[in-house]
Structure 1
Amino acid sequence: MTAKKRPWQETAGIHLMVGFHGTNMDEELKFIIRDFKIGGIVLFRRNIESPEQLRTLLTEAQSFAGETLGRSLLVSIDQEGGPVQRLEAPFTQLPSARDLALEGPEAIVHWTTRAADELRQTGIQINLAPVLDVFSGTPSHFMEARCLDSNPQKVAALGKIWIQTLQKNGVSATAKHFPGLGLAESDPHHFAPVIHWTDDASMQRDLLPFREAIRDGVHCVMTSHALYPYLDPDWPATLSPKINNEWLRGKLGFEGVLLSDDMDMAAVSQRYSWAETVFQGMASSIDFFLLCQQTENIAPFHQALSSALEGDTNLQDLHYRSLQRIERLLQRHVREC
Structure 2
Amino acid sequence: MSLYSPEEWSSRKLAGQRLMIGFEGPVCDERIRSLIARILPAGVVLFSTNVRNPEQVIRLNRDLQSAAKEAGLPPLIIAMDQEGGSVARLREPNFKEFPPISELKNTEEAREHARCMAVELKALGITMNLAPVLDVADKDTSIMKKRAFSGDAQAVTNMGLAMIAACRQEGIHAVAKHFPGIGRTVLDSHHVLPVLDAKKSLLAISDFLPFGAAIKAGVDGVMISHILYEKLDPEWPASLSTIISRDLLRKEMGYEGVVMTDDLDMKAIRLPMEKAMERMVLADIDLGLICHEGPAIDEAFNTLVHMAEKEENKAPFIRSAKRVLRVKSSLS
What is the TM-score of this pair, normalised by structure 2?
Answer: 0.95
Corresponding residue of 2:326: 328
Question: Structure 1's 188 and 69: CA in aligned 2 closer, same or farther, altered over 3 A?
Answer: same
Q: Distance between the aligned counterparts of 1:99 and 1:314, measured in 2? A: 49
Corresponding residue of 2:300: 301
SS in 1 for 2:236: strand
Deviations 1:197-216 (A, max 9, x none): 13513343110000011111
Question: Structure 1's 181 and 234: CA in aligned 2 closer, same or farther, altered over 3 A?
Answer: same
Q: Distance between the aligned counterparts of 1:29 and 1:199, measured in 2? A: 43
1:108 equivalent in alignment to 2:110? yes
Corresponding residue of 2:37: 34
Corresponding residue of 1:217: 218
Q: CA deviation at 1:278?
A: 0.5
- Mapping of residues 167-246 of structure 1, within 5 Å: 167-246=168-247
Kept in 1, the 8 Å contact 2:45–2:79? The answer is yes
Q: Which runs of 4+ in 1 moved over 4 A?
A: none
Kept in 2, the 8 Å contact 1:264–1:294? The answer is no
1:96 equivalent in alignment to 2:104? no
Q: Distance between the aligned counterparts of 1:9 and 1:75, measured in 2? A: 20
What percentage of residue pairs aligned between the two structures are identical? 35
SS in 1 for 2:210: helix
Q: CA deviation at 1:91?
A: 1.5
Kept in 2, the 8 Å contact 1:3–1:11? The answer is no
1:53 equivalent in alignment to 2:56? yes
Q: CA deviation at 1:3?
A: 4.7
Q: Distance between the aligned counterparts of 1:292 and 1:211, measured in 2? A: 27
Deviations 1:63-97 (A, max 9, x none): 12112224211100000000000011222111101
Q: CA deviation at 1:7?
A: 2.4
Corresponding residue of 1:120: 122
Structure 2 residues without counterparts, runs of 5 or longer = none
Q: Distance between the aligned counterparts of 2:86 and 2:312, measured in 1? A: 41
Deviations 1:28-53 (A, max 9, x none): 21111011111110000100111111
Corresponding residue of 2:24: 21
Kept in 1, the 8 Å contact 2:263–2:291? The answer is yes
Q: CA deviation at 1:56?
A: 0.6
Corresponding residue of 1:280: 279
For this pair of structures, how many residues does the alignment match?
Answer: 328
Deviations 1:233-271 (A, max 9, x none): 111111111111111111111111111100000111x2x
Q: Distance between the aligned counterparts of 1:37 and 1:211, measured in 2? A: 32
Corresponding residue of 1:162: 163
Counterpart residue identity of residue 93, structure 1: E
Counterpart residue identity of residue 263, structure 1: L
Which moves more between the two structures, 105-114 or 220-229? 105-114
1:8 equivalent in alignment to 2:6? no
Kept in 2, the 8 Å contact 1:221–1:259? The answer is yes
Kept in 2, the 8 Å contact 1:197–1:203? The answer is no
Q: Distance between the aligned counterparts of 2:5 and 2:290, measured in 1? A: 21
Corresponding residue of 2:134: 132
Question: Structure 1's 171 and 146: CA in aligned 2 closer, same or farther, altered over 3 A?
Answer: same
Q: Distance between the aligned counterparts of 2:320 and 2:170, measured in 1? A: 25
What is the TM-score of this pair, normalised by structure 1?
Answer: 0.94
Q: Distance between the aligned counterparts of 1:68 and 1:201, measured in 2? A: 47
SS in 1 for 2:181: coil
The structure with the largest helix share of the pair is: 1
Aligned-residue RMSD, C-alpha: 1.4
Q: CA deviation at 1:222?
A: 0.2
Kept in 2, the 8 Å contact 1:188–1:265? The answer is yes
